[in-house]
Amino acid sequence: MSCPSVKKFLLGLATAAVLGPVSARATDLLAVRHWSAPDHTRIVIDLSEAAAYLHWTLEDPPRIAVDVADGAFRFPTAEVPIEDGIVKRLRFNVLSGGKAQVVLDLERETRYDVFALEKIENKPDRIVVDVKKPVSSVVPTIPRREPRPEQIIGPETFGDFVIMIDPGHGGEDTGRRNPDGVKEKHLALEFSEALVAEINSRRGYRAELTRKGDYFVSLARRREIAEERGAHLFISIHFNAAPATSARGTEVFFVSLTGADSRATRELEEAENSADLVGGVPPIDRETETNLARMLVNLRQNDSVERSQRLATIVTDHVDRVRGIETRRVKQAGFAVLKSLFIPAILVEVGFLTNRDDVRFVRSDANRTRYVAALADGVVQYVEDVEVPRLGWKIHTVNRGETLSQIAVAYSMDVQALRGANGLPGDRIYPGQKLRVRPR
């Protein structure tokens, strides 16, 4: 072992995480699972109980070793290939002294986090290893950068409205599921991808996703992505569940800074806010808690809560026109993913996975198409009714026989500016088309 490797080994011993006293009997390693995200690879070691463990890095080739004291593998220990550009493979060794070792062979040396999670819901005690993708090779689709201020869209700087679509859960956090094995995380991604495609088909709008695959994204990171991308609206897609199989329909929520106002909503709020506990994030530090508290104080002085209510109401009205799915009244809840956002934000519980009719509806491609079209219609109406006037514009509906130059003159606009405000490649317009124009 080279000198640098020895130094890292000693550092690993000095900073080893100890979850509790070493058990008198062996701790079972029940399974090892992995997910690949754009900026990291997550390895999860399921344990029969909390255990002491050590971790350190080794060189030539680069690798991370995690030793579980008094550990015993309860699964086949053949190598597990990953080959995602960060981690090559997983290997499993039985060491002297009763230690079970999990080795992560890396493509190159890089940063990583290791932390323990206590059992919660159907998840056992776990050790989580997050291996970071080197900065130079991070996929640029969702870059980590300084938050951008709200993009001011006005008469001189008009551009697309950016809608951030957030598929709930993912990776380790499966969300709700029904007896047939339908998982919320998969449905949320399917509906979100369809909604992004639908919104992107509308001129003047651009939608993006907070996650593009089956991997875990913390609630705080979802908000950060929206801020980094300069989003103007935020919509989180989820699916509900209830003890009573008769409960059904769509529920649309906007943020409450004081929490839920009913028992059922409180239970849903707790379930959605537990995503970080289920999916796993490192313990929050005091500085982060202080920053979140400051954000909530600022949010109380911002009008985004009122605008979120308008967005929730308009979206619900449009979904109410979709046949095959019921709609329930707009509600408030203290969903963590919506807090600290200074833009209108809503959470849509599309349907109940515990209701047979709702499951049949959401698993239909045709129904999904109609549903996301209604959501997109609601977004467009909200923007035209609320955001466009707020940002100093108005909507003009093209009348039969009108030309672009006539409309430009009527609103004291240059034809080129009118084209730019509406993303028009030329002068062709049609009756009924809606154009963003300057107020007279």
280 Cβ neighbours under 8 A, 6+ residues apart? 42, 44, 115, 117, 126, 128, 172, 173, 216
**Residue-averaged pLDDT of the chain:** 82
pLDDT at 259: 55
- The answer to whether the beta carbons of residues 67 and 27 sit under 8 Å apart is no
CA-based nearest residue to 438, from 413, 406, 403, 401: 413
- Biggest CA–CA distance in the chain, Å, is 87
pLDDT bucket at 256, cuts 50 / 70 / 90: confident
Q: Which of 106-110, 297-301, 436-440 has the lowest mean pLDDT?
A: 297-301
Q: Each residue of 25-35: b (16+ CB within 10 Å) or e?
A: ebbbbeebebb
pLDDT bucket at 273, cuts 50 / 70 / 90: low
At which residue do the structure tokens 């080893």 appear?
16
pLDDT bucket at 9, cuts 50 / 70 / 90: very low
Q: What is the pLDDT of residues 184-221, one digit of tens each?
A: 999 999 999 999 999 999 988 999 999 999 999 988 88
Share of the chain above pLDDT 70, in %: 77
- As a whole number of angstroms, the distance between CA 315 and CA 346 comes to 9
pLDDT bucket at 141, cuts 50 / 70 / 90: very low
Q: What is the pLDDT of residues 211-238, one digit of tens each?
A: 999 999 988 889 889 988 889 999 999 9
Q: What is the pLDDT of residues 358-414, one digit of tens each?
A: 999 999 999 999 999 999 999 999 999 998 888 778 889 999 999 999 999 998 888
- As a whole number of angstroms, the distance between CA 6 and CA 298 comes to 48
Whether residue 428 is predicted with pLDDT greater than 50 in this model: the reply is: yes
CA-based nearest residue to 12, from 86, 101, 83: 101
- As a whole number of angstroms, the distance between CA 398 and CA 164 comes to 29
pLDDT at 281: 61
Q: What is the mean pLDDT of residues 160-183?
A: 90
Write down how long the chain is.
440
- As a whole number of angstroms, the distance between CA 224 and CA 353 comes to 29
pLDDT bucket at 311, cuts 50 / 70 / 90: very high
Maximum average pLDDT range among 90-94, 153-157, 216-220, 273-277: 90-94
pLDDT at 379: 97
- Going from the N-terminus, what domains does the chain have, and what CATH number goes with each? 3-137 (2.60.40.3500), 161-389 (3.40.630.40), 393-437 (3.10.350.10)
Q: What is the pLDDT of residues 76-122, one digit of tens each?
A: 999 999 999 999 999 999 999 899 999 999 999 999 999 898 888 78
pLDDT at 20: 41
More confident call, 434 vs 267? 434
pLDDT at 322: 97
Whether residue 18 is predicted with pLDDT greater than 50 in this model: the reply is: no
- The answer to whether the beta carbons of residues 158 and 424 sit under 8 Å apart is no
Amino acid at residue number 436: R
Question: With 0-12 CB in 10 A as exposed, 13-18 as middle and 19+ as buried, what is 130?
Answer: buried
pLDDT at 21: 45
Whether residue 22 is predicted with pLDDT greater than 80 in this model: the reply is: no
CA-based nearest residue to 222, from 264, 271, 283, 169: 169
The neighbour count for residue 155, using CB atoms within 10 Å, is: 15
CA-based nearest residue to 57, from 115, 9, 120: 9
pLDDT at 389: 87
- As a whole number of angstroms, the distance between CA 101 and CA 95 comes to 7
Q: Which of 139-153, 295-309, 358-372, 415-429 has the lowest mean pLDDT?
A: 139-153
- Stated pTM of the model: 0.74
Q: Residue 94 is inside which H or E element, if any?
A: strand 87-95
pLDDT at 319: 97
pLDDT bucket at 156, cuts 50 / 70 / 90: very low
Tokens of 305: 């809560």
More confident call, 296 vs 418? 418
CA-based nearest residue to 309, from 255, 389, 376: 255
Q: Which of 142-151, 296-305, 340-349 has the lowest mean pLDDT?
A: 142-151
- The answer to whether the beta carbons of residues 35 and 69 sit under 8 Å apart is no
